[in-house]
Amino acid sequence: MPTPSETSPTRSERRRIGAEIWIVLGLSLGQSALYAIVNIVARLTADTALRDQSASLNVSRSERPYLDLTYQLLGIAFALVPVALALYLLSARGRSAVRAIGLDGARPLRDTGWGFALAAAIGIPGLAFYALGRAVGITVEVQASALGAEWWTVPVLLLAALKNGLLEEVVAVGYLFERTRDLGWNRLKFIVASSLLRGSYHLYQGIGPFIGNVVMGVVFSWWYTSRWGKHRVMPLVIAHTLLDVVAFVGYALVPPEWRAALGIV
């Protein structure tokens, strides 16, 4: 029997799929995108130049360490609920959603190899692009971590990196591809939509990160739909997690004078 993506959906089915996409995005990355758009408008209309503004990631939520830890873990856990929802909805067609988007451990060595390769391909040029954005004034100063120096700081940052990898790659690539394919979208239309979505929820960091993440979105979504990617999202999750681990934890290993030159706090 043909799968839903191989048949033309009825008008009612298209409306239902469209509503489902908006609901999933409204609970996750779409919501972040709208807030980021409002944020960049506020930044651009502020009296302070964009180059002199800053954005903090992984901020502390309480002066009391164990209460802060509790808030951090709850934030990570609830941020993953849309991932569970997306997988649950994809599984409604009677097959494993984890297998459908390649989130399983069927090819650990291959997935890890591609993950490291993609991380290197995006991360190294990305750092240079960030420095360029700071130099021309289209990127704010990014503070990678504003958490205190507690015993749990690094583990929480590692979990936050994994959370970002799962949320963004499962929803913006795996889930969105499956559902837009159900609507009859071609590969190019999906790549454009996925890439613009990825860039939009990074707008709070400035115009530079928006452009950089659109490029990252093009690379990731193109690879996912290529003969090398084979619709496996696991390598993208690995790559994204590695990038965020370096950003959240590894930045501390960079010499202070280098961080100052790059505008990294």
Give the model's pLDDT for residue 146: 75
Provide mean pLDDT across the span 53-77.
93
What is the pTM (predicted TM-score) of this model? 0.91
Cα separation, 223 vs 218, whole angstroms: 8
Percent of the chain with pLDDT over 90: 72
Q: Is residue 2 pLDDT above 50, yes or no?
A: no
| DSSP string for 83-150 | HHHHHHHHGGGSS-HHHHTT-SSSSHHHHHHHHHHHHHHHHHHHHHHHHHHHHHT-B-EEES-B--S-
Averaged pLDDT score across all residues of the chain: 90
Q: Are the CB atoms for 166 and 234 separated by under 8 Å? A: no
pLDDT of 72-87, one tens digit each? 999 999 999 999 999 9
Count Cα neighbours of 13 within 13 Å in the Cβ-side half-sphere. Answer: 12
- Residue 198: per-residue pLDDT: 97
Contact in structure between 131 and 262 (CB atoms under 8 Å): yes
Write the pLDDT tens digit of every residue in 206-241.
999 999 999 999 999 999 999 999 999 999 999 999
Give me the sign of the Cα torsion angle 111, 117, 122, 127: positive
